[in-house]
Amino acid sequence: MTQSPLTRNIQGNGPTDILAYEASGGYLAARDNIGKADPADLLQLIKDSNLLGRGGAGFPTGMKWSFVPPADGNGHRYLVANADEMEPGTFKDRLIMENDPHQLIEGMLLSAYTLAADVGYIFIRAEYHLAIARIRSAISEAEQKCYLGDRILGSKYSFHLQVHISAGRYICGEETALLNSLEGKRATPRAKPPFPQVSGLWGRPTIVNNVETLCNIPHIVNHGANWFKSLGKGDNAGTKLFGASGRVKNPGCWELPMGTSIREILEVHAGGMQDGYMLKGFLPGGASTDFLTPDHLDLPMEYEAIQKAGSRMGTGLMVVLDDRACPVGMIANLEKFFARESCGFCTPCREGLPWVQGILDKIEAGHGQAADLEVLERQALFIGAIGNTHCAHAPGAMEPLVSGLKYFRSEFEQHIHDGRCPYAGES
Amino acid sequence: MKSELINALSRAEIDAIEAEITHLPDRKSAAIDALKIVQSQRGWISDDSLSAIAKLLNMSAAELDGIATFYNLIFRHPVGEQVILFCDSVSCWLMNGEKVCSKLQRTLGIQHGETTADGQYTLLPVTCLGDCDHAPAMMVGESLHHDLTVDNIEAIFK
């Protein structure tokens, strides 16, 4: 049995059509289970597999699904694939959607059947033109073969799947903002509760899962919970798409056991740093994760260990800071992004992030004052506090800032003392 | 009312919007789809288009404008034949993206948010294009260009 289920059809760069997918064992889980398996058994299987959401938060998928109330026959129930991949430094879902679109469709079909959902959406960012084309063509192939639509594979179960192409904005990746956007509204996150499982799209029960999460489902259904658990290292279940960008020799994205060490990812798969560059730090999984340093290289990439080290695994695609790039400049870049992408609804986020960005730009330009660092720290307390805002955008924005102030404090101080960026001229 | 609308929206645009509405629980839910349909025909959303779409969806123009201006890929000003979306997120920044973008701005003679005099290109910053292993990256129209450098960026526009 394959040890790289998610990318088994991708490594050879083969065709992406339905015949190739079926030939590799695709839709076997659908044929064996749709209309035949008890959805309650499938839910139990996903719970037993210890699959954790791959979008960044790492919430147990089976538990998330279990909050959906039983079908009441009063209207639609929705399953949404979050394909709005926009976390800076993250390029994993695109890999699957472009090269194995049927895997996502089969994952959605099995998930929707388990949840008794009758309508599905793939919410995808507009810039992913190739992925959109391949998914659309795959949906039409799957409809022709009766894997989607009315009375799937001769059963009584029906599931209609549509593609929704986004009109932009990072905040659409937040699941309740995504639902508002699907409803045609501004993508402002909703206050929770109620949670989408109970009152989601148009007030109906809705599950939103990340693309990679959904792609794991057919393999768990085919091979079982124990097999899935055996794929990871230690107590961690499954594989994960990990990756690295920045000044490494071989930037890329690889499917590896959950719990693979950071050192192995950066030194073996990414090939280590480019000649003339040293590793100074890294964001483990996107812009909204705290910096870690070379001292953390031997940690396993899994949610708990990275959290214990003071960060989050996030999307699992690392952004590498080298010794010739300015940490203050990098953090200023990150906060400019967060400030621009705030939806503007909650005051600490709308007003606080541009303030932080302004101070960072000032320090980077050599006009900082000693008191600025205190202001940044106080801002981080208010903006970063959970509960001051509807969603995690502002708290996420503070993660690289707070950890940056901790690990790169002397650089901040040097900018302020010297009145210039010590890295100016480097690249 | 319909004939008045046709002056601002084409029959094909109205039909495409109505087709979206058929699989939605209410007309307003088609707001973003409707904006995209009209933009795909006209390149941008004028005040007249906005008012006509709002009427068609039984909503106020102000509410629809609130939606239109929220999304960075809905344009409320005219744009060039092709929109350049230049990634300004962190992985591209680390790989010299700012300098490459400055070179592009000098080459085309425009800043972010501006359109070239010949109406060919509009330049806009964009959040991470998910191509970070080939940073820096940008999209020109629907084409992705990556591994950009100050030396190779000019040739793309020749």
Average pLDDT over residues B98-116: 98
Chain B residues lying within 8 Å of A329, measured CB to CB: 93
Q: Write the pLDDT tens digit of every residue in B33-45.
A: 999 999 999 999 9
DSSP A234: T
| CATH topology classification for A18-230 | Rossmann fold (3.40.50)
Chain A residues lying within 8 Å of B31, measured CB to CB: 184-185
Query: Higher model confidence: residue A424 or residue B83?
Result: B83
Chain A residues lying within 8 Å of B63, measured CB to CB: none
Chain A residues lying within 8 Å of B29, measured CB to CB: 183-184, 202
Which residues, 6 or more positions from A421, have their beta carbon under 8 angstroms from its beta carbon? A326, A328, A329, A364, A365, A366, A415
The distance of A129 to chain B (nearest Cα, Å) reads: 7
Could you say which of A89, A181, A244 has the minimum Cβ distance to residue B32?
Answer: A181
What pLDDT is stored for residue A1 in this prediction?
57
Is A165–B36 a contact, with Cβ atoms under 8 angstroms apart? yes
Is A325–B94 a contact, with Cβ atoms under 8 angstroms apart? yes
Residue of B nearest to A161 (CA): B23
| CATH topology classification for A239-322 | Ubiquitin-like (UB roll) (3.10.20)
Is B133–A252 a contact, with Cβ atoms under 8 angstroms apart? yes
Interface test with B, best of A161, A289, A333, A423 (most B CBs within 10 A): A333
Residue B148, pLDDT > 60, answer yes
B30: burial class by Cβ within 10 Å (0-12, 13-18, 19+)? buried
Is B89–A253 a contact, with Cβ atoms under 8 angstroms apart? no
What pLDDT is stored for residue B3 in this prediction?
47
Is B139–A127 a contact, with Cβ atoms under 8 angstroms apart? yes
Could you say which of B29, B70, B128 has the minimum Cβ distance to residue A90?
Answer: B128
A to B CB pairs, distance under 8 Å = 125
Residue B83, pLDDT > 60, answer yes
Chain B residues lying within 8 Å of A168, measured CB to CB: 71-74
Chain B residues lying within 8 Å of A90, measured CB to CB: 128, 130, 132
| Amino acid (one-letter) located at A222 | N
Is B131–A169 a contact, with Cβ atoms under 8 angstroms apart? no
Chain A residues lying within 8 Å of B151, measured CB to CB: none
Q: How far out from the chain centre does Cα B59 lie?
A: 23
Q: 């009109």: which residue's tokens?
A: A167
B92 marked ligand binding residue: yes
CATH 1.20.1440.230 domain locations along chain A: 327-418
B87 marked ligand binding residue: yes
What pLDDT is stored for residue A427 in this prediction?
52
Give domain A327-418's CATH architecture.
Up-down Bundle (1.20)
B101 marked ligand binding residue: no
Q: Which two tokens stand for residue A187?
A: 């993508």
The distance of B68 to chain A (nearest Cα, Å) reads: 8
Is B89–A89 a contact, with Cβ atoms under 8 angstroms apart? yes
| Rg, Å, chain A Cα set | 22
Is B90–A329 a contact, with Cβ atoms under 8 angstroms apart? no
Task: Give the integer Cα–Cα distance in Å for A405 and A262.
Answer: 22
- Alpha helices, H only, A49-100: 61-66, 93-99
Is B99–A427 a contact, with Cβ atoms under 8 angstroms apart? yes
Q: 């030396």: which residue's tokens?
A: B151
Q: Which two tokens stand for residue B26?
A: 């209410």
pLDDT tens-digit profile, chain A (427 residues)? 568 999 999 876 777 899 999 999 999 999 999 999 999 999 999 999 999 999 999 999 999 999 999 988 889 999 999 999 999 999 999 999 999 999 999 999 999 999 999 999 999 999 999 999 999 999 999 999 999 999 999 999 999 999 999 999 999 999 999 999 999 999 999 999 999 999 999 999 999 999 999 999 999 999 999 999 999 999 999 999 999 999 999 999 999 999 999 999 999 999 999 999 999 999 999 999 999 999 999 999 999 999 999 999 999 999 999 999 999 999 999 999 999 999 999 999 999 999 999 999 999 999 999 999 999 999 999 999 888 999 999 999 999 999 999 999 999 999 999 999 999 866 5
CATH 3.10.20.600 domain locations along chain A: 239-322
Which domains are seen in chain B, by residue range?
A: 2-70 (1.10.10), 82-156 (3.40.30.10)
Q: How far out from the chain centre does Cα A403 lie?
A: 21
Is A187–B71 a contact, with Cβ atoms under 8 angstroms apart? yes
Q: Which residues of B touch A (CB under 8 A)?
A: 23-25, 28-33, 35-36, 66-67, 70-74, 85, 88-91, 93-96, 99, 126-135, 139, 142, 144
Is B132–A245 a contact, with Cβ atoms under 8 angstroms apart? yes
Residue of B nearest to A337 (CA): B89
DSSP B89: S
Task: Give the integer Cα–Cα distance in Å for A239 and A5.
Answer: 8
Could you say which of B23, B95, B132 has the minimum Cβ distance to residue A91?
Answer: B132
Element (H, E) at A181: helix A175-182
Q: How far out from the chain centre does Cα A333 lie?
A: 20
Q: Are A124 and A164 in contact (CB under 8 A)?
A: yes
Q: Write the pLDDT tens digit of every residue in B3-58.
A: 454 568 999 999 999 999 998 999 999 999 999 999 999 999 999 999 999 999 99
For chain A, the distance separating the N- and C-terminal CA atoms, rounded to the nearest angstrom, is 45
Q: 């996420």: which residue's tokens?
A: A396
Q: Are B107 and B153 in contact (CB under 8 A)?
A: yes
Could you say which of A94, A244, A283 has the minimum Cβ distance to residue B130?
Answer: A94
DSSP H helix total and E strand total for chain A? 17, 8
Could you write out the DSSP letters of every residue in A381-403?
HHHHSTTSSSSSHHHHHHHHHHH
A234 C-beta neighbours (distance < 10 Å), count: 11
Could you say which of A186, A252, A333 has the minimum Cβ distance to residue B66?
Answer: A186
Residue of B nearest to A93 (CA): B130
